[in-house]
Structure 1
Amino acid sequence: MIAVIADDLTGAAELAGIGLNHGLRTEVSTTVDEHCDADLLVIATDTRSLAVNEAKNIVHDLTVQLQQLKPRFLFKKIDSVLRGHIIEELQSELSASGLKRALIVPGNPHHSKKLIGDTFHYNGAPIHLSDFANDPTFPALSSNIVELLRADGSIKLVNNGDKLPSTGIIIGAAEDEDDLKYWISKTDGNTLLAGSANLFTTLLEYLTTPQRIEIPDPETTGRRLFVFGSTFYQGKLNLQDGKHNNIPVHYVPAATICAETSGDHVHGLFASHVASSIVAGNNAIIAINPDFIKDIKVDPVLLSHKMADIVKQVIDHTSLHELLIEGGATAWAILERLNIEKLYPSKLIAPGVIHMRIAGNNQLCLTLKPGSYPWPAPIWATNNYTCI
């Protein structure tokens, strides 16, 4: 078994899709099942949205539980642009696992996220010049890798060809695929490897022989609700007559966004309106209007829970066959609200965009996508990716 701890749900789903593509029996769960016999077990957390001490405790406890399964390899999925409590979580995982060192290989060269020397680049420019500088929780205010990681002088930066220190937390510079392969080749049984989907793909190519597992394609009828929890791309929605790609867009009311608490009574009328739209046309989008939030301070965690409450009420009003969710924190809040703990990937629609079945639920399924990835064109074909 290969065991992964991911710091958000869409990142966990992304790695599960990669495992599925390599023919591995794959499971995504929010807890560690002592009877799990999957080839790839990805534990999804929401530690990126939590306070640092809470995040550390969760990672420590999960690592202890995973060690009981005696995995062949431990991998820590981190954000490709280094948001989150990366150093602290790795320190916690090292302590719980007994491993001697952690190797962070930042970025995702396949998506133009590269560490060149000590400078992190996104789309060919230092990342602090990009939209990631405006992230509400972990803004990229510097492009220096140590400052991005909020690390201290004990963290060592090494380049392709350098000898790896035997202990501690190490950063491996990665400009291209050859660098990723080099770091994988230098990883041994005493090393906790941390990185993004690009690195994990390289790891699977090194550890496994690709196989093909036949999983039936989903059925093609049903009602779908898109939930755009991330604001990363929402300023770029192309609306025509209130529709995006011919699907009605329903912006969460400003009063709901500004409310100091999350509660069902606040969202009832809006959820009923969205449900009616789905009954009429099978598809609807819930989104956050960037104009509503550009001049106000919004708690992203509270906003995720508000979105989850709305989704629950939409489901109470009408049967759904598929939820398509953008943004890891929003996806996590929705799964918590719906009491979903275990998922099985069934289709890799595009890199990072994964269709999954819900354990114990034959009606509803999920498609998840990180906030910074685009939706692939086929997803907009109505009723194209729903499940039995």
Structure 2
Amino acid sequence: MLALADDLSGAAETAMALRLPGRLVLGAPARGLRAAGGSVALPSSGESVVVDLDSRQLPAVDAARSVQTAVAAGAFHGGVLFKKVDSLLRGHLAAETAAYAAGARGVVIAPALPVAGRTVRGGVVQLRGTPLHMTEAWRAECRRPPRSVAHALSGVPTALVPLSVVRGPALADCLLAHLAQGRQPVCDAETDDDLTLIAAAAYGLGPDVRLLGSGGLAAALGRLLARTPVDGRAAVPAPHPGTARRPLLVVAGTAEPALAAQIAQLAAVGARHVPLSPGELTLAPTGRLDITPIGITVVSITGPVCPASSRDLVTALAAAVADVARDSDLVLTGGETARRVLEALGVTQLWPVDQIHHGAVHSLTPDGRSVVTRPGSYGETDSLLRIARALRPEPSHLVPSSPF
């Protein structure tokens, strides 16, 4: 199994959902499957390789090229291809889908993520029953959200597969008919069972029909592949022996409103919170920022952030923490934040080992340090507290007013 994602937290979510032993690769966009530090072996039988193409913030033409390069390098005989897309339809969905479809009979598309309350009905993404374009989910974007999946895929010929067909006996025939007409099927889905039906029907059409969807579709594919005997086993680094004594550094680069409450819960049990304003990040010399991790430390961007400058701020945040994060375990919220921090630390591969809650994936670096990645929009109010308790389960670490 070779899977492609446009950001790191989505790649980690996909790696856990597929239920196969494997690796996460921080791929360089211009070099497809090649990590920043060198070449990367393709997956062997029974193994998955999930590549973060880091294409979410690229120009559309460069994002498409990164997908083309990765697909060309990964077109190995008998392997399965999967393309992870954002369940909120962010990123260069049209350009990357067109590139992903090139050379295949077609692509079956299902962006629903029921576990996060994100469904698709009538080709429209719904957030807990509200159409995406009527929510504030794109508040950090520089453009308005699409009114439908077809709108997000403008320029790609699509055909709607309604829920009645997804749940009926003729789903595979319907997919084939649309593909024969040169249209990519966009499938409605409201439940994980719907996604399982879509994954099974698409997978049954053969390797020249590719799957594209959210982590929910990846999980459905994982359930399907779990029925097949696994021949290979990926070698996972051993946890670092000094884990219990290492600082735990939480780097929060997301603009989600829920983040403040998540940090507050962690601070209430003794974590140190270091809020940094955009001015401090962009103007202050890195070495003068007092962010050295002690015990459990949370570093976040505070104050209003202009969407147009968000990437520069995240890059500055990564640079600010890189010098002090080399001996810490890490919790990184937001795919862009995670990628920039690990890039600054020279980490090019991760081995996923556990999922703390949906989307919060615990991985190990080659030297055995823990890294938890999580999409910025995921998690309830206790998300960061749950992650910290999973990494530091000793009772003395996380109790009200405990000193670090």
Which TM class, normalised by the smaller chain length? Answer: 0.7 to 0.9
Pair 1:370-2:375 in alignment: yes
| Partner deviation per Cα, 1:169-203 (whole Å, 9 max, x = no partner) | 22111122332122123212221111111111111
Q: Indicate conservation of the 8 Å contact 1:83/1:138, yes or no.
A: no
CA offset digits 1:33-52 (Å, max 9, x no partner): 23643611101121111110
Tell me, yes or no, if structure 1 residue 274 matches structure 2 residue 281.
no
Q: 2:140·2:255 contact (CA, 8 Å) conserved in 1?
A: no
Kindly provide the CA deviation profile for residues 295-347 of structure 1, in whole angstroms up to 9, marking residues without a partner as x: x56422211211110111223xxx52301100001111112212211111122
Unaligned segments of structure 2, at least 5 residues = 28-32, 34-39, 166-170, 395-404
Shift of 1:106: 1.6
User: What is aligned with 1:30?
Assistant: 26
Q: Report the count of equivalent residues.
A: 358
1:174 aligned partner = 189
Look up the SS of the partner of 2:322 in the other structure. helix
1:119 correspondence with 2:142: no
Q: 1:193 aligns with which of 179, 202, 211?
A: 211
Where 2:68 maps in the other structure, the secondary structure is helix
Residue 256 (structure 2) aligns with: 232
- 1:240–1:332 Cα change, 3 Å: closer
Residue 157 of structure 1 pairs with residue 160 of structure 2: yes
2:106–2:210: 8 Å Cα contact kept in structure 1?
Answer: yes
1:66 matched to 2:74? The reply is yes
The 1:268–1:87 alpha-carbon spacing in structure 2 relative to 1, beyond 3 Å, is same
**Matched position secondary structure for 1:268:** helix
Query: For the Cα contact (< 8 Å) 2:110–2:188, is it kept in 1?
Result: yes
Superposed, which structure 2 residues align to 1:21-100 within 5 Å?
22=19, 24-31=20-27, 32=33, 33-34=40-41, 36-37=43-44, 39-67=47-75, 69-95=76-102, 98-100=103-105
Tell me by how many angstroms 1:154 deviates: 2.5
| 2:147 corresponding residue in structure 1 | 143
Alpha-carbon distance in structure 2 between the residues aligned to 1:217 and 1:358: 9
Residue type of the alignment partner of 2:323: Q
Instruction: Find the counterpart in structure 1 of residue 227 from structure 2.
Output: 209
CA positional deviation for 1:133: 3.6
- Structure 1 residue aligned with 2:270: 246
CA distance in 2 between partners of 1:297 and 1:81 (Å): 17
Partner Cα separation in structure 2 for residue 253 and residue 367 of structure 1: 24
Question: Is contact 1:128–1:143 with CA below 8 Å preserved after alignment?
Answer: yes
Distance, in Å, in 1 between the alignment partners of 2:347 and 2:286 is 21
- For residues 237 and 108 of structure 1, the distance between their equivalents in structure 2, rounded to whole angstroms, comes to 24
Does the 8 A contact of 2:239 with 2:370 survive in 1? no
Runs of 5+ in structure 1 lacking a partner? 260-264
Q: Which letter does structure 1 place at the counterpart of 2:224?
A: Y
Candidates 299, 324, 331, aligned match of 2:338 = 331
Q: After TM superposition, give the deviation of residue 28 of structure 1 in Å.
A: 0.6
Q: Distance in 2 between matches of 1:56 and 1:178?
A: 31
Kindly tell me: are residues 338 and 301 of structure 1, through their superposed partners in 2, closer, same or farther at Cα, counting changes over 3 Å? same
Q: Give 3-state SS (helix, strand or coil) of 2:327's partner.
A: coil
Q: Which of 305, 312, 332 lines up with 2:315 in the alignment?
A: 305
Match of 2:56, SS state, is helix
Give the deviation of 1:244 after TM superposition: 5.2
Instruction: Map Cα deviations across residues 60-108 of structure 1 (whole Å, 9 max, x no partner).
Output: 11111111x435210000001111111211211222xx21111110221
Identical aligned residues as a percent? 22
List per-residue Cα deviations over 1:231-272 (Å, max 9, x = no partner).
11356436669935431111113313555xxxxx732211xx
Q: Which amino acid aligns with 1:144?
A: S
Which residue of the other structure, out of 340, 347, 369, is the alignment partner of 1:340?
A: 347
2:112/2:188 contact within 8 Å kept: no
Partner secondary structure for residue 82 of structure 1: coil
State the one-letter code of the partner of 2:90: R
Secondary structure at 2:141 match in 1: coil
Alignment partners' CA distance in 1, 2:12 and 2:156: 33
Supply the distance in 1 between the matched residues of 2:268 and 2:304 (Cα, whole angstroms).
18
Partner of 2:401: none
Aligned Cα RMSD in Å?
2.8
Q: CA, structure 1 residues 118+177, in 2 after alignment: closer, same or farther (shift >3 Å)?
A: same
